[in-house]
Amino acid sequence: MIIYGTGSKDLGTRKLQGTRCPNCEANDIHLQAISRYFDVFWIPIFPYAKKYFSICGNCQQVLKKKEMPKQIKDKLEIEKHHFKTPFYLFAGTGLIALIAIYITYNSIRQDEELLVNLQNLEPKDVIVFDNPDGEYSFAKVIEKSNDTIYMYYGNYTIDKIPNESEVNEKRREVKDFFSEIQVYYTQEEIDSLHKNGEIENIFKH
């Protein structure tokens, strides 16, 4: 379950010079700014609004921006640049960006590793096929001779992306995980399957 919501951060107050309270006429007006932000699991993701209030130090009248008289609004426009949004309110956005960069980098690295392994298949390597029906099937390399790869197809499929330990455990449980019917592919055919996204992984022996 994802817990999300909003929060607020007090950005401080500044006294406005040359302004009077519209309620009591006191020359003691302070400007307060609050940053509103969106959060997930209480981690700030990004700020989405700044709210401004005028507070009279004498009568304690609080006015929202839309309620302020023109003289206070004019001062607000001059002073509001002093209220800086803390960088950490963008922490979640930065974290998401780093995760996205890592996932992209890791995906590229895995694709490069898979391509290298496909060009260097060896006996006992296990090829994981991504089938159109959403199942994953397997083939064990028996021999590579020149441009031809000989292999045994697996007798079992898995309905999720398999990891090597799961496959090895299944192979220990059943003796006929691979058939004894020999098939072969040319390297060009293997490369074509990879290009079409039909090879998910290679488990090196």
Which pLDDT does position 170 carry in this prediction? 87
Q: What is the 3-state secondary structure (H, E, C) of the chain?
A: CCCEEEEEEEEEEEEECCCCCCCCCCCCEEEEEEEEEEEECCEEEEEEEEEEEEEECCCCCEEEHHHCCHHHHHHHHHHHHHCCCCHHHHHHHHHHHHHHHHHHHHHHHHHHHHHHHHHCCCCCCEEEEECCCCCEEEEEEEEEECCEEEEEEECCCECCCCCHHHHHHHHHHCCCCEEEEEEEEEHHHHHHHHHCCCEEEEECC
pTM over 0.85: no
Q: Is the model's pLDDT at 11 over the cut of 90?
A: yes
Q: Using the structure block, give the residue that is written with the tokens 């609050």.
A: 34
Instruction: Kindly tell me if the per-residue pLDDT of 90 is higher than 90.
Output: no
Order the strands of the 29-40 sheet from edge to edge: 4-16, 29-40, 43-56, 62-64
Domain boundaries, the chain: 4-96, 121-203
Local confidence band at 152 (pLDDT 50, 70, 90 cut-offs): very high
Q: What is the pLDDT of residue 22?
A: 93
Residue 110 has pLDDT above 90, yes or no: no
- Asked whether the predicted pLDDT for residue 43 surpasses 80, the reply is yes
Q: What is the mean pLDDT of residues 130-135?
A: 91
Q: Which residue has the higher pLDDT, 174 or 52?
A: 52
Stretch 22-30: mean pLDDT, rounded? 93
Alpha carbon distance 40, 37 (integer Å): 10
User: Average pLDDT of the chain?
Assistant: 91
pLDDT in tens, 55-84: 999 999 999 999 999 999 999 999 989 999
